[in-house]
Structure 1
């Protein structure tokens, strides 16, 4: 079940990124990372910080929380997901900042770090 959720999250993240990329032709500078897709737009021209990865991953995680159909498919609810997110986001943000490098250029590593944060706030 957990591997199914990871595959589903990865597929959603890739779809979200590709959709956002198709809808935007602007470049992102260091202060513009507000959502998940912004991380990858910025990576096309410069490294991203762990803080930016967390900002984008938080946006993606809360978007998943607000998707009632997705939450129902997981056997949960929007309110329970948001409550868990609010309860865990600070703890989940501290771990990667303390343990990881400051800046990243590799999309695979950035995706993995974002996925780790999303899994932390989703469990």
Structure 2
């Protein structure tokens, strides 16, 4: 009886662990935010389009940070306007200069910084 209970607890604990860490085995991470890029990068390469998607989200979050924009001498409204005016141009610029897939954090960070600088410059 003790062996049965121990086995049952082992199965329950193992199932819980696998469910909690299921993302380790799932390479189908959908990139919607900047942090999603790095989460996906842990298990698979990220595409250039995914980097741009995450960088856009990050740039818009920067635009919404009123304190940060004031420190730059800008407003959130002017930042949003600049973003919407330049995002297509900056995306095309990054697409023309970049590779199809990225595998390192440094590459992704550098590319993201270029895009964010372009849309917020």
Structures share fold, TM-score greater than 0.5: yes
Q: TM-score, normalised by structure 2?
A: 0.77
Write the distance in 1 (CA, Å) between the matches of 2:41 and 2:71. Answer: 32
Could you state the TM-score of these two structures normalised by the residue count of structure 1? Answer: 0.76
**Count of residue correspondences:** 99
Please say which structure displays the higher CA radius of gyration: 2
1:70 aligns with 2:102: no
Computed over aligned residues only, the root mean square deviation of the Cα atoms, in angstroms, reads: 1.5
Residues 1-123 of structure 1: pairs in structure 2 closer than 5 A: 27=23, 29-30=27-28, 32-123=30-121
Q: CA deviation at 1:30?
A: 4.6
SS in 1 for 2:32: coil
Within 1, Cα distance between the matches of 2:65 and 2:77? 11
Match of 1:9 in 2: none
Runs of 4+ in 1 over 3 A off after TM superposition: 25-31
